[in-house]
Structure 1
Amino acid sequence: MFDSLMKSIFGSSNDRYIKSLGKIVNEINGLEPAMQALSDDELRAQTDKFRSLLDSGSTLDDILPEAFATVREASMRVFGMRHFDVQLIGGIVLHRGEIAEMRTGEGKTLMATLAVYLNAIEGKGVHVVTVNDYLATRDAEWMGQLYNWLGLSVGTIIPNMDEYTKRDAYNSDITYGTNNEFGFDYLRDNMKHERSQMAQRPFNFAIVDEVDSILIDEARTPLIISGPTEDKSDLYVKLDEVAKEIPEEWYEKDEKSKNIQLNEDGLDKVEALLIERGLLETENLYDVENTQVVHHLDQALKAVHMFRRDDHYIVKDDKVVIIDEFTGRMMDGRRWSNGLHQAVEAKEGVKIEPENQTMASITFQNYFRMYPKLSGMTGTAATEAAEFWDIYSVNVVEIPTNLPVARIDEEDEFYKNTMDKFAAIAKAIKEKNEIGQPVLVGTVSIEKSELLSQFLDKEGVKHEILNARQHEREAHIVAQAGRLGAVTIATNMAGRGTDIQLGGNVEFRIEDETSDMEDGPQKDAAIASIKEAVAEERQKVLEAGGLFVLGTERHESRRIDNQLRGRSGRQGDPGLSRFYLCLEDDLLRIFGPDTLFAKMMNSNLEDGEAIGSKWLSKAIETAQKKVEARNYDTRKQVVQYDDVMNDQRKVIYEQREEIMDSDTVDDVVVDMRHDTINSIVGTACPPGSYPEQWDIELLREKVQEIFNLNPPFEEWLEEDQVEPEIIEERIRTETDALMETKIAKNDPAIWRLVEKDVLLRQLDFHWKEHLATLDALRQVIWMRGIAQKQPINEYKQEAFGLFETMLDTLREEVTKLLFKSELRLAQPETEALPDLPDFLTGHIDPLTGLDNSGDGDGSEERPELFGSLAGSARAAAGPGGANTEDPYANLNVSRNAPCPCGSGNKYKHCHGAAGAKQTA
């Protein structure tokens, strides 16, 4: 009560913060007449002026008012759009590294241009992150007109780009792209073997559009680049058959966590079933030999009994496509992990794609925390403000609307069952349709969309359905959802990225109706007619009450409900919103309090009768808060576990960059050799032990295996005062001498390239194996909780030990390879070999489903030991086409490989035309 009183007197902390920005806004407004007086050339010259000021020691905050005034005036000249004062406030918030919550239709895209321009002036790069490729391309093209006019370069990152275009895009002042593509490019860059192949620059500043969707909703699962493993299709199919035979009384399911567990009776019966089918290695289901079968049986049970077609996924073109539970969009290419996707494929009888092994991974939390300055914008972030601060250290600021909100948000209506609810919804839609009021209906699944469609067909109401099946038509359907009498059913993605304008969207109508017409008086007349018709229709819609938003169910997250509501009442327009609920809704059925059900059932609600009360709405909000808290805990746990891996990831990636940036790595290789010797001697001759206790056979075996040496250990042991340190020093001396002799027999420059190549390849291989080990550890570490231990603490300790072991193994393997490898230069052949066919390579990301073969990794690197020699020689020789002399003659480049010079031609048709050849 005291807080409410203080807020009514002094305003909230958000209100006070917004008010404090008024001085800067007034300063920007004061510069407007001076900006209007500038010519186009003078206004464009402002960019160079600001850069000079920054070079002279000014800060971005110093030039902010004049820079914002410049963008506002440039926007008027390029688009005819002037930034509102509230957009100036939003721009300041973004520049300060905070999240701007701005209502739908208030102009977030235009607002972002202010902070983007200001921060791009430095030339360090600004990343604008969007939720899909369509928005990235659209915003880059649309806002790019303004940035280009002001002298800044703009790039777009989209899937399947060639590597050179991608590097150019990242080197632009401003780069647009999706969160997935930015994250995957970071992982791909850290799988490359040459610095010149890396696309991204050091991180500087990112603005995340729909920040709640990207940093909250999508942050539950990490980004993963992986490669295929063995095909186990037969096992998936057999276990699917078993899962379909298991009745409900054999298992217990938890819909909250989407988990299924066999009960005691079910365990015995399923065990007998698996033995009968010959699927168990031993007769005990939980013997270690049957671990894989038990794991895939669990996934098959989930697929059959928990995951529903047209709700959690759809089948399109004989492929299982996941439906995003938050937006209702198809997530093409994204796959569930740990064999669950394969289990669903077996259930649906489509082709089963093999599981993948993780090669690189990162969570969105740890990716975006690498930006020195991070900001975002959305219509709904306040409900997750605590999480944004805890995870990202970013504050949420609510930006006031330009005009007061005129939308009326009515109380929820409750019905006894789904059929009663949908009958009432159809009746309400028909009533609004008859007076011409446009209706936007939000559903939670494709199934519910199509059920409502049937009810509307019975009522004779013409309507459009927008769900994952009509994904391609999304923008056009949403753009016209505000037309007179329009009824649009949307699955959790109403209008994302596209404004719903009352009377219809002028731009889309012009595009749809005049695309076949040639420029000229006839087309100009048609455009004028469309604009006049839209204006008339808008007036009729306003008289009908504006857009009516109708929710058929409450979502788990309040943000999704607010996003739907926010489609109505943009820029001061009138509007109406109402939600229809029933006892069979998932949220009430799974998360609602028992007392709620009891009270509603005891109220003797008649069929078709509705009730509504603030108490019931409050109970729903409480249930939503429970789910949000639960989901936050899930995401927080993902971060806690990935933080452990992230510390190790930074070490590995920093080591890779140091190796790539170094001309030679001989000092690293020598240290590895000496550390390996220290480890071997320490194991065989423990400190503080007597010589007769030493394991000389183990020492001899390891020295022979790794260094191909057989020192006279017996003679050394006969000496007085022999110590482990003396033995270590002698082995080190012999191995150093052996390696120097080996290098002297070869070209030292080429040997240094070999060392670098071996080190990078072994680092990548062992890191990949380490990731697989950590994945396996993560799957079982929860069992430590049974012993009253904290799983996360146990995971940290185990992961650290595994990392140390990996580094020891890496040092030993690199040392062994370098001692055993031999360089051989082949003699020219007397006869030319026949041409080999061009090989096709593929690299499919499991989360995007995109073929990233064009990322530069596959074309220039060969799997042999000396695969990076060509690339290194190219860097030394410089660019160019075929020459009469062959600078790569001593590198043994394959005749059919791409020429190291980078021309794109085969070696034999370029520098290798003189006749240099290599044997396999």
Structure 2
Amino acid sequence: MIGNLAKMIFGTPNDRKIKATWPAVHRINALEPQFQALSDDQLIAKTRELQARAQKGEPLDNLLVEAFANCREGARRALGLRAFDTQLLGGIFLHEGNIAEMKTGEGKTLVATFPAYLNALAGKGVHVVTVNDYLAKRDAEWMSKVFTQLGLTTGVVYPFQPEPEKRQAYAADITYATNNELGFDYLRDNMKASLEEMVQRDHFYAIVDEVDSILVDEARTPLIISGPSQDRSDLYRTLDAFMPEIRPEHFKIDEKARSATLTEEGNEYFEQRLLQAGVLPENQRLYDPESTTIVHHLVQALRAHKLYHRDQQYIVRDGEVMLIDEFTGRMMKGRRLSDGLHQAIEAKENVEIQPENVTLASVTFQNYFRLYDKLAGMTGTAATEAEEFAEIYKLGVVEVPTNRPIQRVDEHDRVYRTADEKHAAVIEAIREAHGRGQPMLVGTTSIEKSEMLSRLLTDAGIPHNVLNARQHEAEAQIVADAGKPGAVTIATNMAGRGTDIQLGGNVEMKVMEALAADPEAHPDAVRARIEAEHAADKQAVLNAGGLFVLATERHESRRIDNQLRGRSGRQGDPGRSLFFLSLDDDLMRIFGSERLDKVLSTLGMKEGEAIIHPWVNKSLERAQAKVEGRNFDIRKQLLKFDDVMNDQRKAIFAQRREIMESGEVSEIAADMRHQVIDDLVDEFLPPRSYPEQWDVEGLKKAAIERLNLDLPIVEWAAEDGVDQAAMLERIEAASDEYMAKKAEQFGGDTMRQIEKQVLLQQIDSKWREHLVTLEHLRSVVGFRGYAQRDPLSEYKTESFQLFEGLLDSLRGEVTTNLTRIRPLSDEERAEMMRQYQDQLTAQQESMRPQHEEADGGAATAAAPGFDETDPATWGNPSRNDPCPCGSGLKFKHCHGSLV
């Protein structure tokens, strides 16, 4: 009560934000006559002036009023659209790093141009993110006219785009792309070997369209780039060999969950067997973090033997394990079990083990979009997820007022006892609205239910369109026609984005269709005729009550329901929305439909009657809020786990970038080598130990293995006054001298390239192994909860230990590789050339019979100066020219196949 009274007096926080921002809009409006007087060249000159001021350090906030005024005039000239004041308001909130909640039909695509233009002045690039490739291309093509008018460049990124074109798109002032492609390009860039190959630049500012879909709905699934793993056949076979020894007291099976775990006795038994077999290194326990992968594959071997049986879950045919569909009994060719389970079954059946696919790189959308210095978003429905946006992304949600007051009537839900009664009522409501010429958008929660409703409408003789999200171009066309008099459009919740439902139909779409059907028709005459027809159709729809949104079920998220409802009543149009529910619906069934069914029976409701009351709406909203809260908790927990990996990912990616940016990495390599030497000295000559306790023989052997140096360590240790520090200094000096000589042998530039490539290769290799281990660790720590230990805390601790191990291993591998490389001797070069010559001859012999006739050439003398062992003497023939060796073959079929 008091809260409501305070809102009436002081306004809501949202109202206060709106009120504080209106003065900026008024200042932009005051500049409009001044900018209208500028020529096209002067608009571009204004952009250059603003760019110069921004790049000299003037805050973008200071440029906002002039930039928005310039952009509004550019849009008016390029598109014939003058932005409403509420669109300017939305643009300001986007620039400030908020989510602007704007109703359907308020022109969000145009709104994005204002903050995009302003932030592009800084010269660091702006990303406008859309939900699919069709909208990315459409919006880029449409809005590029505005940016071109203002002197800025626009790019669009799409899948399978050629690398040079993609690099150019990212280099543009404003780049349109989907969230998926941005994330994958980020991962791919951090697998490249040089800066020149990377396509993305700064993560400066992003505007996310349909922000609730991208940052909430799609954020549940990480982006993953995978590839074949290294060959682990020996590990699978070794672990499989232990399975016949296993006894009932060693394991527990849960057939319902299809899971297997080792008991305490099983752990002890297998730890000893693995140590004896050399699978576990000495001094390493089975449940140490470093053993995670071994434990994972041991459990998978156990599952393969105890839960998967030949001729039940799979068969072996032609040396291949093929899964059987448990429902149909058919073979599922090409399908494989994940996480090494299929490989465990292959080891059990003693067939060839195929490599499993492993994660090469991954990132969640939450962590990708938090890379940006500033983030903003647009949607028609964000208020219900405001807590999540604030907590995860530090984004505020501002509800921007509509340009015209909303006239849509939102009716109370109608609840029926059974699904059949509900469907009958839905068909009758559609028949009634269709009869009076009112267009309808009928919302369903799945494609299956939309097709079922389509069959009912077909039986009832009501013409309609079914809209799903399979083809975005078709979606745009169907939505454009959905506002025609009497149109009935069935849509799933995913459908209907990117194109507004305009009452009477979409004029632009009709004009394009008419011109495509009759290319010789005069465009102006066609437009005039269609606009006249459209005016009559629109008036008929207005008289019928505008667009009627009828939903056949409540979604578990209020946001999805609001998206559907928001399709009606755009730009002050009349409209109506109504939800039809039954006690058989998923949401009603889960949240106490039995009790409600008893109440309805007690009231003596007849078949076909509905209960309509505001209390029902409130009760459903509370149920939806509970589900939303539960889903948020799940996403938040997943993010906490991913944050642990994200810190490590950023450290690795930053190290890669530092190496690629550095012209000289020998200092990094030297630091790694010195750290390895420090660790060796600490291991074999422990601090605060006496010389007689030193393992000098072990240190000498380790120096040969790790540093490729045979040093007189035993003799040094025998000298008087030599302590650990002196020994460390001597080994480091010998190592530095050895590497300096190696650099002289190769030459400075060559050695720098070798060091850089070895560093990058080892970082990538170790990171890939680490990702696999973390995946296995994630599956293992979940069971720690049964022991009253927090899985997240365990994951943090052990993943940090694993990361430290990764860094130690990385230093060791880089050092060993760099100390062992050497230039080839003359004899080795000659041997390589002989092998090359033999390969060349064998290849020519194998190709000559099959290509001589096709090439149609006769053997001739070799070209002057031709030397088989030196490609530099071959000239520069094209692929289809005769080979200069005189064989008569085309170059591509002869020596050209070897270069």
Q: Which range, TM-score by smaller chain?
A: 0.7 to 0.9
Distance 1:497 1:102, change over 3 A: same
In the alignment, does 2:41 pair up with 1:47?
A: no
Instruction: Give 1:240's aligned residue.
Output: none
Provide TM-score, normalisation by structure 2.
0.80
CA distance in 2, matches of 1:413, 1:93: 38
Give 1:297 shift.
11
In the alignment, does 2:231 pair up with 1:223?
A: no
Matches within 5 A, 1:270-349: 291-292=299-300
Instruction: Give 1:843's aligned residue.
Output: none
Matches within 5 A, 1:513-524: 513-521=514-522, 523-524=523-524
CA distance in 2, matches of 1:607, 1:197: 68
Contact in 1 for aligned 2:678/2:728 (Cα 8 Å): yes
Report which of the two structures shows the higher radius of gyration computed on alpha carbons: 2
CA distance in 2, matches of 1:610, 1:461: 24
Contact in 1 for aligned 2:130/2:208 (Cα 8 Å): yes
Give 1:811 shift.
0.6
Matches within 5 A, 1:621-632: 621-632=621-632
The aligned amino acid for 1:291 is V
Distance 1:596 1:4, change over 3 A: same
Matches within 5 A, 1:480-519: 480-519=481-520
CA distance in 2, matches of 1:437, 1:218: 35
Matches within 5 A, 1:78-117: 78-117=78-117
Instruction: Give 1:391's aligned residue.
Output: 392
The aligned amino acid for 1:763 is I
Distance 1:298 1:619, change over 3 A: farther
Instruction: Give 1:670's aligned residue.
Output: 670
Distance 1:724 1:354, change over 3 A: closer
CA distance in 2, matches of 1:137, 1:542: 33
Give 1:434 shift.
0.9
1:620-677, CA deviations, whole angstroms, 9 ceiling, x for partnerless residues? 1112111111111122122211221121112111111111111121111111111111
In the alignment, does 2:72 pair up with 1:64?
A: no
Give 1:454 shift.
1.5
Give 1:263 shift.
12
Instruction: Give 2:422's aligned residue.
Output: 421
State the SS of the aligned residue for 1:753: helix
The aligned amino acid for 1:46 is K
State the SS of the aligned residue for 1:161: coil
CA distance in 2, matches of 1:86, 1:478: 25
The aligned amino acid for 1:616 is V
Instruction: Give 1:574's aligned residue.
Output: 574
CA distance in 2, matches of 1:470, 1:29: 41
In the alignment, does 2:365 pair up with 1:364?
A: yes
State the SS of the aligned residue for 1:391: helix
Instruction: Give 2:468's aligned residue.
Output: 467
Instruction: Give 2:755's aligned residue.
Output: 755
Give 1:23 shift.
1.0
Give 1:38 shift.
2.4
Instruction: Give 1:746's aligned residue.
Output: 746
Instruction: Give 1:533's aligned residue.
Output: 533
1:371-394, CA deviations, whole angstroms, 9 ceiling, x for partnerless residues? 111111110111111111111111
Contact in 1 for aligned 2:255/2:307 (Cα 8 Å): no
CA distance in 2, matches of 1:404, 1:299: 63
CA distance in 2, matches of 1:835, 1:578: 80
CA distance in 1, matches of 2:708, 2:342: 47
CA distance in 1, matches of 2:653, 2:162: 24
CA distance in 2, matches of 1:893, 1:430: 83
Matches within 5 A, 1:661-740: 661-740=661-740
CA distance in 2, matches of 1:138, 1:158: 12
State the SS of the aligned residue for 2:112: helix
CA distance in 2, matches of 1:919, 1:754: 25
Matches within 5 A, 1:29-44: 29-44=29-44
Instruction: Give 1:884's aligned residue.
Output: none
- The farther-off stretch of 659-668 and 782-791 is 782-791
CA distance in 1, matches of 2:163, 2:207: 24
1:430-459, CA deviations, whole angstroms, 9 ceiling, x for partnerless residues? 111111111111111111111111211121
The aligned amino acid for 2:539 is Q
Give 1:688 shift.
2.5
Contact in 2 for aligned 1:438/1:485 (Cα 8 Å): yes
Contact in 1 for aligned 2:300/2:340 (Cα 8 Å): no
Matches within 5 A, 1:2-21: 2-21=2-21
State the SS of the aligned residue for 2:449: helix
1:470-493, CA deviations, whole angstroms, 9 ceiling, x for partnerless residues? 555211111111111111111112
State the SS of the aligned residue for 1:400: coil
Distance 1:223 1:597, change over 3 A: farther
Higher relative contact order (CA 8 A, sep 6+): 1
Q: Which structure 2 segments of 5+ residues have no match?
A: 237-252, 262-293, 314-331, 344-353, 844-866, 885-890
CA distance in 2, matches of 1:50, 1:835: 67
Give 1:542 shift.
0.8
Contact in 2 for aligned 1:449/1:465 (Cα 8 Å): yes
Instruction: Give 1:180's aligned residue.
Output: 180
CA distance in 2, matches of 1:895, 1:360: 40
Contact in 2 for aligned 1:383/1:558 (Cα 8 Å): yes
1:173-227, CA deviations, whole angstroms, 9 ceiling, x for partnerless residues? 1111011111111111111111111111122111111111111111112221111
Instruction: Give 2:133's aligned residue.
Output: 133
Contact in 2 for aligned 1:228/1:356 (Cα 8 Å): yes
Contact in 1 for aligned 2:696/2:717 (Cα 8 Å): no
CA distance in 2, matches of 1:647, 1:894: 48
Distance 1:354 1:41, change over 3 A: same
Instruction: Give 1:256's aligned residue.
Output: none
Q: Which structure 1 segments of 5+ residues have no match?
A: 236-249, 254-259, 265-285, 305-316, 321-334, 343-352, 838-888
Give 1:722 shift.
4.5
Give 1:704 shift.
2.3
CA distance in 1, matches of 2:705, 2:500: 69
Contact in 1 for aligned 2:405/2:572 (Cα 8 Å): yes
Give 1:703 shift.
2.1
CA distance in 2, matches of 1:252, 1:557: 34
Give 1:231 shift.
11
The aligned amino acid for 1:439 is M
In the alignment, does 2:406 pair up with 1:405?
A: yes
Percent of pairs with identical residues: 53
Give 1:822 shift.
2.2
CA distance in 1, matches of 2:567, 2:304: 43
Root-mean-square deviation (CA, aligned residues, Å) is 3.9
Instruction: Give 1:208's aligned residue.
Output: 208
Contact in 1 for aligned 2:194/2:660 (Cα 8 Å): yes
Distance 1:63 1:710, change over 3 A: closer
Give 1:718 shift.
3.4
Matches within 5 A, 1:753-902: 753-824=753-824, 826=829
Contact in 2 for aligned 1:299/1:339 (Cα 8 Å): no
The number of aligned residues is 778
Contact in 2 for aligned 1:339/1:355 (Cα 8 Å): yes
CA distance in 2, matches of 1:696, 1:905: 65
1:312-348, CA deviations, whole angstroms, 9 ceiling, x for partnerless residues? xxxxx9999xxxxxxxxxxxxxx99869999xxxxxx
Instruction: Give 1:545's aligned residue.
Output: 545
Give 1:395 shift.
0.9
1:145-176, CA deviations, whole angstroms, 9 ceiling, x for partnerless residues? 11101111000011111111111111111111
State the SS of the aligned residue for 1:203: coil
Distance 1:173 1:904, change over 3 A: farther
Distance 1:489 1:646, change over 3 A: same
Provide TM-score, normalisation by structure 1.
0.78
Instruction: Give 2:454's aligned residue.
Output: 453
State the SS of the aligned residue for 2:97: coil
CA distance in 2, matches of 1:918, 1:450: 55
The aligned amino acid for 1:784 is R
CA distance in 2, matches of 1:429, 1:200: 50
Distance 1:686 1:251, change over 3 A: closer
Instruction: Give 1:441's aligned residue.
Output: 442
1:227-275, CA deviations, whole angstroms, 9 ceiling, x for partnerless residues? 134899xx9xxxxxxxxxxxxxx9999xxxxxx57799xxxxxxxxxxx
